[in-house]
Amino acid sequence: MAANIIDGKAFAAKVRAKIATNVSTLKMEHGVVPGLAVVLVGEDPASQVYVRSKGKQTIEVGMNSVEHKLHENTSEDILLALIDDLNKDDAVHGILVQLPLPKQLNEALVINRIAPEKDVDGFHIANVGLLGTGQKSMVPCTPLGCLLMLRDYHGTLSGKSAVVVGRSNIVGKPMAQLLLNDSCTVTIAHSRTKELQEVVKQADIVVAAVGRPEMLTGEWIKPGATVIDVGINRVDAADGKTKLVGDVDYESCAKVAGAITPVPGGVGPMTIACLLANTVTACCRINNIPEFEGFSS
User: Distance between CA 34 and CA 26 in Å, rounded?
Assistant: 8
Residues numbered 154-213 forming contacts with ligand GUN, rule: CB under 6 A: 170
Check residue 141 for interaction with ligand GUN (CB under 6 A). Answer: yes
Among the listed residues 12, 15, 97, 114, the single contact to ligand GUN using CB under 6 A: 97
Residue among 5, 99, 180, 286 that touches ligand GUN (CB under 6 A): 99
Burial class (CB in 10 A: 0-12, 13-18, 19+), 282: buried
Q: Does 69 bind ligand GUN (CB under 6 A)?
A: no
Residue nearest to ligand GUN (CB): 99
Of 183, 170, 94, 189, nearest in space to 134 by CA:
183
Which range binds ligand GUN by CB under 6 A, 19-27, 93-101, 185-193, 204-212? 93-101
Q: Is position 121 an interface residue for ligand GUN (rule: CB under 6 A)?
A: yes
Active site residues: 54, 98, 121
From residue 118, how far is each of 93, 153, 154, 172, 284 by CA, in Å? 5, 30, 31, 22, 11
Residue 96 touching ligand GUN (CB under 6 A): yes
Bridge pairing between strands 242-245 and 233-236: antiparallel
Phi first, then psi: give them for residue 255, nearest 5 degrees: -80, -20
State yes or no: residue 98 binds ligand GUN (CB under 6 A).
yes
- Choose between 261 and 271: whose C-beta lies nearer to ligand GUN: 271
Q: Closer CB to ligand GUN, residue 262 or residue 268?
A: 268
Rule CB under 6 A: is residue 44 a binding residue for ligand GUN?
no
Q: Count residues contacting ligand GUN (CB under 6 A)?
A: 7
Interface with ligand GUN by CB under 6 A: which range of 17-25, 76-84, 94-102, 247-255?
A: 94-102
Judged by CB under 6 A, does residue 83 bind ligand GUN? no
Query: Applying CB under 6 A, which residues contact ligand GUN?
Result: 96-99, 121, 141, 170
